[in-house]
């Protein structure tokens, strides 16, 4: 369940009041510092490749636009993919252009994340999966909450973007930390057939091991670069999970707004804090009056600390 807090997937009004208000606050849970230092030391001593999982990229073909280039000049024809991409990014439901990261992000990063806090802004009675969330809350401050995965940023049309296809699969297959053996371990893969096209970055899909299909749509995003060392992002995502095995089941829709503040703290290292706000959707198992009562207030807020080391 903790993997869902690493991969931000999920619709709400995303315009941030002030992205730069996402300051890195000292956590009440210090366990990560000790464990992360231990993990880094073990990797250095072993001399082993610290990359977590293979880099697999499957680009999906999004055929929602058809443009005839027969009458175009060679120069215009050559620019057709860019024209299609720009037009797609302006269509309702397809959001704005992708997030463009500072140049120092380019490459692959070894990431270790720790979920440090869970809050219920609208009250516990408004949380549909309260039992599951409370169970997760018990592990705060322990190594069991740590996850390790790779994140890759690539050049595309002269800018640096996140390789969302590769990153989604890597985060969903994150390694966990065993406090007894002081080693990272993997569980069986839960995703396959990840489809994403950088020319249409707002749409991503993948299949779950049990046969469910997950469609992810970015509906809004924004970013700030207040200093050369700080980069802040905000995205609103709608995730729809559809059961492919049983006919008649209603798709499950999730709505989340994710804000991340990255700070470069040295050569080859970035520290980040991610705040994920989960909102009620009409499909949740709640009464209509509760849905209306929640309004624009999130029902669950997760705060995650991430340490990224360049590979």
Distance CA 67, CA 60 (A): 18
Mean pLDDT of the chain, nearest integer: 75
Q: Which residues pair with 114 in a beta bridge?
A: 146, 305
Non-local CB neighbours of 38 within 8 Å, separated by 6+ positions: 182
pLDDT band at 188 (very low <50, low <70, confident <90, very high): confident
Confidence tier at 78 by pLDDT (50, 70, 90): very low
Q: Identify the band that residue 29 occupies on the pLDDT scale cut at 50, 70 and 90.
A: very low
Q: How confident is the model at residue 82 (pLDDT cuts 50, 70, 90)?
A: low
What count of residues does the chain have?
311
Q: Which residues are bridge partners to 277 per DSSP?
A: 257, 301
**CA-angle at 108, arms to 139 and 311, nearest 5°:** 85
User: What pLDDT digit, counting tens, does each position of 85-116 carry?
Assistant: 555 444 444 445 899 999 999 999 999 999 99
Indicate the pLDDT class of residue 201, thresholds 50, 70 and 90. very high
Q: Could you give the CA distance from residue 202 to residue 243 in angstroms, rounded to a whole number?
A: 22
Buried b or exposed e, range 83-121, using 16+ CB within 10 angstroms:
ebbeebbeeeebbeebbbbeebbeebbbbbbbbbbbebe
């Amino acid at each position: 369940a903790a993997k869902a807090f690493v991969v931000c997937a999920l619709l709400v009004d995303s315009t941030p009041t002030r992205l730069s208000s996402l300051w890195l606050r000292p956590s009440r849970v210090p366990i990560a510092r000790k464990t992360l230092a231990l993990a880094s030391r073990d990797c250095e001593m072993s001399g082993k490749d610290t990359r977590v999982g293979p880099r697999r990229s499957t680009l999906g073909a999004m055929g929602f636009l058809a443009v005839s280039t027969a009458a175009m000049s060679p120069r215009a024809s050559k620019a057709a993919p860019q024209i299609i991409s720009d037009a797609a990014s302006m269509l309702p439901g397809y959001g704005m252009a992708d997030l463009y990261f500072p140049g120092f992000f380019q490459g692959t990063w070894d990431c270790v994340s720790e979920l440090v806090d869970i809050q219920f802004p609208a009250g516990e009675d408004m949380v549909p999966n309260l039992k599951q969330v409370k169970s997760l809350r018990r592990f705060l401050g322990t190594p069991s909450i740590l996850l390790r995965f790779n994140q890759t940023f690539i050049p595309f049309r002269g800018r640096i973007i996140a390789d969302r296809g590769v990153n989604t699969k890597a985060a969903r297959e994150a390694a966990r930390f065993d406090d007894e053996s002081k080693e990272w371990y993997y569980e069986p893969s839960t995703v396959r057939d990840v489809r994403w096209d950088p020319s249409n970055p707002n749409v991503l899909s993948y299949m779950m091991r049990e046969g469910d299909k997950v469609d992810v749509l970015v509906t809004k995003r924004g970013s700030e670069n207040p200093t050369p060392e700080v980069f802040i992002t905000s995205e609103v995502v709608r995730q729809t999970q559809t059961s492919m095995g049983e006919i008649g089941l209603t798709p499950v829709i999730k709505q989340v707004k994710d804000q991340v503040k990255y700070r470069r703290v040295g050569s080859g290292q970035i520290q980040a804090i991610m705040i994920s706000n989960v909102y009620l959707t009409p499909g949740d198992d709640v009464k209509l009056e509760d849905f209306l009562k929640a309004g624009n207030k999130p029902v669950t807020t997760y705060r995650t600390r991430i340490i990224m080391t360049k590979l």
